[in-house]
RNA sequence: GCGCCACUAGCUCAGUUGGAUAGAGCAUCAGCCUUCUAAGCUGAGGGUCACAGGUUCGAGUCCUGUGUGGCGCGCCA
């Protein structure tokens, strides 16, 4: 964020006065208060101790040695306890606008992650039901994180861990079968105790009745397999349909089944055995986690012969490592927190660098309306599915609302606010800024007004204009920070600020009707804002309409 | 009992690696549309940053303890 020339001059001075590791100590920030200038550094305060000098004195030593291009720096001052504040000239910002404008659609992209492979796994809901709100938050977070890394030049794989093995699928089959029998008049047919109670099970059963009649009436193994497969396809179809409404698509659906069929599970067991990390007790196979510093040993293969989740999870993540990913991101709900240490310990024991695994935990979603928690959908009378929420408030609103809070905090989803198609709704505020800009360009075109690319921007001098440029300059940095912290919310907040700065600019400065060179300079200001809003919203998965 | 997450304005939340006078939105009140979209802009009120210690030039931010709330602690995933 800090211009290179500024950073360079300071670094040179710090070197000259014999500071050790100045790169680490030199940091710039943008002061909250305008009166302190455009950039500030507290480096003098940090150095004061090691130099055993008064901070203001240190600041003076530094400032006296600084050399700048006078066209770019307006003022350097020492304030407060020893902050060095720098005010840059309007020419500097005009040049910056020019630079951002010339970068065009690529402004904000970087090559930082070039050659690096990142895997982002998200959603990964089992095909036993419909997506609920928590899945929705998971999906939006994962997708936006993937988008952020793509912007940084990483080779991104969006992955869904597809678990269609194990007891849950039997459960699904038996649940559908029970409803099927009941529909066919066998009213007393018992519903499985731990079956899936949702109404969608009845829907599936009804579909089977409509299509095949009583063809699958017998409680045979083949028929169970049929219901399992039918239910899986039905659920997974719905899941993909819902995700697609949110513009979420995965590159890889990694099937848990393949871990078994390709012998990956056995490989892991053998590897752990060779490291003497597993043993047998009570007919089950245990993972000796206490040897790895954890609290308790855990079962990885039940006495029935089925593995617990830990084993396939370790095998799956081992595969991710073997597939050559430099960074492995898992997006999980906070209810999975307890499962991660075991899996990481297993991977560590297998010799993998677990610092490459980043698990993003998100907290729960609570649907609120007028201060009261909403548990059931008014329309269906059942608990809200993600799909219902989307059809009620729209995909853009759902995506933005799920992303506008930081990942680690509980999310209160304000249904009344989300429904509101007005200025109160932050999504519309952002989209409106974009539509307004488009409208300016449309109007200019209609009236035959053209602007010139090579006109100078050095005529912009109002506070509002400079303010807008300052925010535009931050875009690349914001993308980077959002990705590093795995927090799309940082980008959402930034876009909101940018929209505000634009609305203020729009209010204070006219574009159409201004004389050259102001006309063209302001056009550029609007163009750069438009690109950032569009690209930024795109990363968040929110559309940027040309008209509203 | 143990682990993780949170606690900031009436409500929902921001607050960069510790920095200067803690910020938005909603809600409340008061203004601004013959000119590019008023889904906008401007202003006002509203705070013991849960509490108590500690670290230091400086703490909403770091450390310790306490309280409140959420989630988890299975041969479920």
Which CA-bearing residue is nearest the C1' of B7?
A409
Reply yes or no on whether the pLDDT at A423 is more than 90.
no
* CA A205 vs CA A68, A208, A219: distances in Å: 76, 5, 14
- How much is the average pLDDT of A512-541? 95
Protein residue closest to B11, using CA and C1': A371
Asked whether the beta carbons of A543 and A396 are under 8 A apart, the reply is: yes
Work out the pLDDT band at A213, boundaries 50, 70, 90: very high
CA dihedral A181, A182, A187, A188 (to 10 degrees): 60
Nucleotide nearest A55 (Cα, C1'): B57
CA/C1' separation A386–B7 (Å): 29
Measuring alpha carbon to C1', the residue closest to nucleotide B75 is A302
**pLDDT (0 to 100) of residue A508:** 93
Q: Is the pLDDT of residue A153 over 90?
A: yes
Å between CA of A29 and C1' of B58? 16
- pLDDT of A498 > 90? The answer is yes
pLDDT at A71: 92
Nucleotide with the nearest C1' to A405 CA: B13
Read off the pLDDT of each residue in A136-146 and give the average, rounded to a whole number: 96
Instruction: Name the closest residue (CA) to the C1' of nucleotide B58.
Output: A81
| Average pLDDT, integer, range A134-148 | 95
Confidence class for position A166, pLDDT limits 50, 70, 90: confident
Confidence of residue A499 (pLDDT cuts 50, 70, 90): very high
In angstroms, the CA A498 to CA A525 distance is 12
Between CA A134 and C1' B66 the distance (Å) reads: 33
Residue nearest to nucleotide B69 (CA to C1'): A410
A471, A532 contact by CB (below 8 A):
no
Distances in whole angstroms, Cα of residue A109 to Cα of each of A24, A65, A298, A532: 25, 35, 45, 11
DSSP one-letter string for A428-442: HHHHHHHHHHHHHHH
Question: Protein A283 CA to nucleic acid B65 C1', in Å?
Answer: 45
Q: Is the pLDDT of residue A323 over 80?
A: yes
Pick the more confident residue, A105 or A257: A105
Q: Which two tokens stand for residue A301?
A: 């293969």
Nucleotide nearest to A124 (CA to C1'): B77
Would you state the pLDDT for residue A257? 87
Looking at residue A20, its pLDDT comes to 78
Q: Is the pLDDT of residue A400 over 90?
A: yes
Most confident among A1-5, A271-275, A416-420 (mean pLDDT): A271-275
> A167 CA, B2 C1': separation in Å?
30
DSSP summary character for residue A29: B
Q: Say if residues A14 and A43 touch (Cβ distance below 8 Å).
A: yes
In the complex, which nucleotide's C1' lies nearest to the CA atom of residue A447? Answer: B36
Q: What is the mean pLDDT of residues A505-526?
A: 94
Residue A410 has pLDDT above 80, yes or no: yes
Backbone torsion region of residue A39, taken as left when φ is above 0, otherwise alpha when ψ lies between -120 and 50, otherwise beta = beta
Which DSSP string corresponds to A112-149?
Answer: TTTT-EEEEE-----TTS--BHHHHHHHHHHHHHHHHH
Residue A371 scores a pLDDT above 80: no
Q: How confident is the model at residue A324, as a pLDDT?
A: 96
Q: What pLDDT does residue A541 have? A: 96
pLDDT at A414 over 80: yes
DSSP of A39-79: EEE-HHHHHHHHHTS-HHHHHHHHHHH----TTTEEEEEEE
* Rounded CA separation A363/A134 (Å): 8
Name the nucleotide nearest A284; use CA and C1': B75
User: What's the full length of chain A, in residues?
Assistant: 548
What is the Cα–Cα distance from A223 to A508, expressed in whole angstroms? Answer: 71
Q: Read off the pLDDT of each residue in A192-220 and give the average, rounded to a whole number.
A: 93
Residue A17 is predicted with a pLDDT of 85
What tokens were used for A184? 């066919």
Contacts 24+ apart (CB under 8 A), A53-62: A54/A82, A55/A81, A55/A82, A56/A81, A56/A82, A58/A82, A59/A83, A59/A84, A61/A17, A62/A10, A62/A13, A62/A14, A62/A17
Side by side, the strands of the sheet bearing A365-369 are: A372-373, A365-369, A411-414
pLDDT computed for residue A138 by the predictor: 95
Q: Is the pLDDT of residue A388 over 80?
A: yes
CA angle, A362 as apex, A339 and A171 as ends, to 5°?
55
d(CA A189, CA A121): 40
Q: Write the DSSP symbol of residue A513.
A: T
Residue A478 has pLDDT above 90, yes or no: yes
Q: Which nucleotide is nearest to A409 (CA to C1')?
A: B6
Q: Given a cut of 90, is residue A164 above it in pLDDT? A: no
Question: Which pLDDT band, with edges at 50, 70 and 90, does A378 fall under?
Answer: confident
Q: Specify the range with the lowest mean pLDDT, choosing from A12-26, A234-248, A476-490.
A: A12-26
CA of A296 to C1' of B43 (A): 61
Do residues A505 and A464 lie in contact, with contact meaning Cβ atoms separated by under 8 Å?
A: yes
Q: Give the C-alpha separation, A252 to A73, whole Å.
A: 51
What rounded mean pLDDT belongs to chain A?
92
Q: How far is the CA of A160 from the C1' of B17 (A)?
A: 34
Q: CA of A113 and C1' of B63: distance in angstroms?
A: 35
Nearest nucleotide (C1') to the CA of residue A303?
Answer: B75
Q: Which residue is nearest to nucleotide B13 (CA to C1')?
A: A405
pLDDT at A19 over 90: no
Which chain B nucleotides are covered by protein, judged by CB under 7 A?
A: 2-7, 11-17, 19-27, 35-42, 57-58, 70-77
Tell me the CA–C1' distance in angstroms for A429 and B41. Answer: 13
Q: Which nucleotide lies nearest residue A286, CA to C1'?
A: B75
pLDDT band, very low/low/confident/very high, at A210 (cuts 50, 70, 90):
very high
pLDDT of residue A532: 97
Judge residue A139's burial from the number of C-beta atoms within 10 Å of its C-beta, 0-12 exposed, 13-18 middle, 19 or more buried. Answer: buried
Of A450 and A544, more confident: A544
Amino acid A295: pLDDT: 82
Which fold would CATH assign to domain A4-88? Gyrase A; domain 2 (3.30.1360)
Measured from Cα to the C1' atom, the residue closest to B70 is: A410
Give me the pLDDT at residue A174, please: 94
Say if CB A482 and CB A488 are below 8 A apart. yes
pLDDT digits (tens, 9 = 90+) for A43-80: 998 888 777 788 888 899 999 999 888 899 999 999 88
Q: Which of A452, A451, A544 is nearest to A502 (CA)?
A: A544
Six-digit token string for A296: 């308790």
Interatomic CA distance for residues A310 and A326, integer angstroms: 22
Nearest nucleotide (CA of A490 to C1')? B14
Orientation angle between helical segments A264-274 and A310-322, nearest 10 degrees: 100
Q: Give residue limits of the domains in chain A.
A: 4-88, 167-245, 424-539
pLDDT (mean) for A363-373: 84
Q: Please compute the mean of the pLDDT values over residues A308-337 and round it to a whole number.
A: 93
Inform me whether the pLDDT recorded for A22 exceeds 90.
no
What nucleotide is nearest A85 when CA is compared to C1'? Answer: B20
Instruction: Quickly count: other Cβ atoms within 10 Å of residue A48's Cβ.
Output: 19
Distance A79 CA to B21 C1' (A): 14
The pTM (predicted TM-score) of the whole model is: 0.95
Is A154 a residue whose pLDDT tops 80?
Answer: yes
State the pLDDT at residue A21: 78
Tokens 């750069």 label which residue? A528
Give Rg (Cα) of chain A.
29
Task: Report the pLDDT value the prediction gives residue A336, as an integer from 0 to 100.
Answer: 86
For residue A248, pLDDT over 80 is answered with: yes
Distance measured from the CA of protein residue A120 to the C1' of nucleotide B40, in angstroms: 39
User: What pLDDT shows up at residue A171?
Assistant: 92
pLDDT at A1 over 90: no
Q: Given this model, what pLDDT does residue A427 score?
A: 93
The whole-number Å distance from A406's CA to B13's C1' is: 9
CATH superfamily of this structure's domain A424-539: Isoleucyl-tRNA Synthetase; Domain 1 (1.10.730.10)
Euclidean distance between CA atoms A140 and A492, whole angstroms: 13
How far: A423 CA to B41 C1' (Å)?
A: 13
Whether the Cβ atoms of residue A417 and residue A368 lie closer than 8 Å to each other: no
């Amino acid at each position: 964020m800090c211009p290179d020339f500024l950073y360079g001059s300071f670094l040179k001075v710090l070197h000259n006065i014999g500071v050790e590791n100045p790169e680490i100590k030199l940091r710039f920030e943008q002061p909250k208060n305008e009166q302190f200038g455009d950039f500030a550094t507290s480096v003098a305060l940090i150095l004061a101790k090691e130099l055993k000098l008064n901070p203001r004195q240190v600041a003076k030593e530094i400032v006296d040695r600084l050399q700048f291009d006078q066209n770019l720096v307006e003022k350097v001052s020492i304030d407060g306890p020893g902050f060095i504040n720098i005010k840059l000239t309007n020419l500097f910002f005009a040049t910056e606008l020019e630079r951002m404008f010339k970068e065009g659609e690529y402004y904000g992209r970087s090559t930082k992650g070039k050659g690096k492979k990142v895997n982002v796994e998200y959603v990964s809901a089992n095909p036993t039901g419909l997506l609920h709100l928590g899945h929705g938050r998971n999906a939006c977070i994962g997708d936006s994180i993937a988008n952020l890394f793509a912007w940084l030049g990483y080779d991104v794989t969006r992955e869904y861990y597809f678990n269609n093995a194990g007891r849950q699928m039997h459960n699904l089959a038996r649940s559908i079968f029970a409803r099927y029998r009941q529909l066919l008049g066998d009213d007393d047919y018992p519903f499985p105790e731990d079956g899936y109670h949702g109404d969608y099970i009845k829907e599936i059963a009804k579909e089977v009745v409509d299509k095949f009649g009583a063809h699958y009436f017998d409680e045979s193994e083949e028929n169970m397999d049929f219901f399992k497969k039918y239910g899986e396809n039905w659920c997974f179809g719905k899941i993909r349909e819902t995700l697609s409404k949110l513009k979420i698509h995965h590159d890889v659906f990694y099937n848990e089944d393949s871990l078994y069929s390709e012998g990956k599970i056995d490989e892991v067991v053998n590897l752990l055995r060779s490291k003497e990390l597993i043993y047998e007790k009570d007919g089950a196979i245990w993972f000796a986690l206490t040897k790895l510093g954890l609290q308790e040993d855990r079962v990885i293969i039940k006495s029935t012969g089925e593995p617990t989740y830990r084993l396939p999870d370790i095998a799956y993540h081992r595969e991710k490592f073997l597939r050559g990913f430099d960074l492995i991101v898992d997006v999980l709900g906070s209810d999975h927190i307890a499962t991660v240490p075991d899996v990481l310990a297993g991977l560590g024991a297998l010799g993998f660098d677990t610092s490459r695994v980043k698990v993003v935990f998100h907290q729960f979603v609570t649907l609120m309306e007028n201060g009261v928690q909403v548990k059931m959908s008014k329309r269906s009378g059942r608990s809200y599915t993600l799909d219902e929420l989307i059809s009620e408030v729209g995909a853009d609103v759902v995506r933005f609302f799920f992303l506008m809070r930081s990942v680690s905090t509980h999310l209160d989803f304000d249904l009344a606010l989300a429904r509101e198609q007005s200025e109160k709704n932050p999504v519309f505020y952002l989209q409106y800024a974009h539509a307004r800009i488009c409208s300016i360009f449309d109007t200019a075109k209609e009236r035959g007004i053209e602007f010139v690319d090579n006109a100078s921007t050095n005529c912009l001098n109002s506070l509002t204009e400079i303010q807008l440029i300052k925010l535009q300059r931050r875009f690349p940095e914001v993308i980077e920070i959002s990705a590093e912290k795995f927090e799309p919310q940082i980008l959402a907040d930034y876009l909101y600020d940018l929209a505000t700065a634009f609305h203020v600019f729009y209010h204070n400065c006219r574009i159409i009707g201004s004389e050259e060179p102001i006309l063209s300079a302001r056009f550029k200001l609007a163009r750069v804002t438009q690109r950032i809003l569009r690209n930024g919203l795109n990363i968040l998965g929110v559309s940027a309409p040309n008209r509203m």
